[in-house]
């Protein structure tokens, strides 16, 4: 039987995939902060990933997944998002908490269990927070933009919450309380470049977000 990658390797690959998608070119210092690890530990693990041909590091110290690493990272992301659906839709665990629990369970799924889980869930095309499953026909609408790009008065519909934001349970609870979820419509009531904040208004009230957070939320204009 082919040996599975260690949990540490899988966590690094998943982190690299998410950070590259949402923040662009990635360096070790960002990965160190994200993983809340020491520079020496991150350096040692990156060396292992390079040895196993899962990542490559450029002369400018930019970390990139190889094709092999990309495939492994996307496979893990798919398992993670399927587990999120199972926890949220079938076990009734709150929408804002499933990301944390999925991180624990995802490493134990075999390909057979993953396939059966997808079938059991009806082959979802995204996670409960709107991010498409890798390799699936699901995708973000072509007119999706980050929330910070809209203007005062725009009526928008939330499409997805960025993976990076999901790491904060408190922030996800705030989104839940303010109804900032995929499929929900809001009006851009006020956008202020000076304070770099955007105020959303929906049927349940208003919510104020800073631009950094808004930049990691996808939406479409209605």
Two structure tokens written together for 157: 């519909």
Let me know if domain 145-221 sits in CATH 2.30.30.90.
Answer: yes
- What pTM was computed for the model? 0.87
Distance CA 86, CA 81 (A): 9
DSSP E strands, the chain: 26-27, 55-57, 62-65, 145-146, 155-161, 185-192, 197-202, 205-210, 217-221
Helix ranges restricted to H, 54-97 = 67-85
The number of residues in the chain equals 222
- In three-state form (DSSP H/G/I as H, E/B as E, the rest C), the secondary structure along 127-138 is CCCCCECCCCCC
User: In the beta sheet, which residues pair with residue 206?
Assistant: 201
> pLDDT at residue 115 above 80?
yes
Averaged pLDDT score across all residues of the chain: 92
Q: Average pLDDT for residues 11-28, to the nearest whole number?
A: 90
pLDDT higher than 80, residue 119: yes
Dist CA 197 CA 210 (whole Å): 4
Which residue, chain included where needed, has tokens 């399927």?
A: 82
Looking at residue 126, its pLDDT comes to 93
Q: Average the pLDDT over 99-119 and give the result.
A: 92
Tell me the Ramachandran region of residue 162: left when phi exceeds 0, alpha when psi lies from -120 to 50, beta otherwise. Answer: beta
Determine the Cα–Cα distance for residues 182 and 70; give it in Å rounded to an integer. 26
Question: Average pLDDT of 177-202?
Answer: 97
> Is 80 exceeded by the pLDDT of residue 2?
no
Query: CA-to-CA distance for 153 and 206, rounded, in angstroms?
Result: 14
How crowded is residue 7: how many other Cβ atoms within 10 Å of its Cβ?
A: 13
CATH assignment of 7-69?
A: 1.10.10.10
CA atoms within 13 A on the CB side of 63: 28
Domain boundaries, given as residue ranges, for the chain: 7-69, 145-221
Q: From CA 31, how far away is CA 37, in angstroms rounded?
A: 9
* Rounded distance between C-alpha atoms, residue 216 and residue 34, angstroms: 15
């Amino acid at each position: 039987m082919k040996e599975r990658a260690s949990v540490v390797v899988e966590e690094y690959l998943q982190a690299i995939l998410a950070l590259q998608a949402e923040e662009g070119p990635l360096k070790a210092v960002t990965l160190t902060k994200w993983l809340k690890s020491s520079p020496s530990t991150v350096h040692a693990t990156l060396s292992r990933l390079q040895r196993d041909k899962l990542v490559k590091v450029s002369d400018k110290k930019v970390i990139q997944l190889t094709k092999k690493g990309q495939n492994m990272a996307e496979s893990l992301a798919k398992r993670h998002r399927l587990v999120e659906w199972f926890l949220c839709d079938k076990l009734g665990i709150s929408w804002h908490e499933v990301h944390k629990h999925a991180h624990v369970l995802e490493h134990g799924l075999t390909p057979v269990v993953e396939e059966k889980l997808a079938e059991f869930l009806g082959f979802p095309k995204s996670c409960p927070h709107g991010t498409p499953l890798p390799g699936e026909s699901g995708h973000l609408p072509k007119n999706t933009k980050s929330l910070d790009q809209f203007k005062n008065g725009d009526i928008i519909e939330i499409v997805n919450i960025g993976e990076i934001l999901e790491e904060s349970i408190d922030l996800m609870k705030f989104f839940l309380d303010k109804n900032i979820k995929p499929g929900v419509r809001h009006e851009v009531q006020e956008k202020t470049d000076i304070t770099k904040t955007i105020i959303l208004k929906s049927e349940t009230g208003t919510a104020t977000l800073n631009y950094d957070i808004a930049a990691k939320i996808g939406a479409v204009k209605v």
